[in-house]
Structure 1
Amino acid sequence: MEKKVQQYYRLKQKQKEIEKELADLRQDILSYCSEQGATEAEIGSYKVKLVTQNRKEYDDLKLYETLSDPEVWRMLSKSDPAKVASLTKLNVISEDKIMHTYSLKTVTLLQVDKK
């Protein structure tokens, strides 16, 4: 069992290193594309594509005050954007009613595919 714990620890350390390296590479690629003014590029045998998305970031207090039904709030327990989106799609919550409870955050996704 000690070997499994040791291997787990070693892999977690490696995972942290890989995640940091990925974040650094991602930033370098995003900077390059920004300098080029491009959202798509072919670099060597790879195709790079930047996809911009808007994500809602809810204000828990505003959302709680808006959702007067405690049963609905219990379904959320805290403002999880995926849960709020699901309840909105199911017409449990009206989009118009909660419009003031979130701000939009623009995020850029990086896709790299081999040609």
Structure 2
Amino acid sequence: MDKIVKRYYQLKQQQKETEQELKELRDQIITFCEEQGTSEFAAGPYRVKLVSQSRKEYDDTKLYEALPDLELWRMLSKSDPAKIAGLVKLGVIKEGRIQDTFALKEITLLQVDRK
């Protein structure tokens, strides 16, 4: 069991290091794109593409005020954008009722594919 735990620990450390390196490389690629004024480019056999998205970040207090029905609030338990989107899609919540309960956050996704 000692070997298993040791290997698990080693892999978790590798994972942390890999995630940190991925973040640094991602930041460098995004900076390059910003400096070049582009959202797509080719690098050898790879195609790089930046995709902008807007994500809703809900304010729990405002959302609770907009959805005073306790039964409905229990279904959410906290503001989960996926659950809220599902309830809107099903017609349980009207989009207009919650329009002032979130802020849009722009994020950039990085896609790297082989050509």
TM-score surpassing 0.5? yes
Q: How many residues align?
A: 115
- What TM-score do the two structures reach when normalised by structure 2? 0.97
Is 1:14 aligned with 2:14? yes
* Aligned residue number for residue 96 of structure 1: 96
Aligned-pair CA distance for 1:6 = 1.2
Aligned-pair CA distance for 1:65 = 1.0
CA distance in 2, matches of 1:95, 1:9: 46
CA distance in 2, matches of 1:106, 1:54: 5
- The residue type paired with residue 49 of structure 1 is K
Structure 2 matches for 1:61-76, cutoff 5 A?
61-76=61-76
- Percent identical: 62
* Aligned residue number for residue 47 of structure 1: 47
- What TM-score do the two structures reach when normalised by structure 1? 0.97
Aligned-pair CA distance for 1:44 = 1.5
CA distance in 2, matches of 1:9, 1:102: 39
Give the gaps of 5 or more residues in structure 1: none
CA distance in 2, matches of 1:51, 1:105: 14
CA distance in 1, matches of 2:9, 2:40: 38
Cα RMSD over matched residues?
A: 0.7
CA distance in 1, matches of 2:12, 2:92: 41
CA distance in 2, matches of 1:88, 1:13: 41
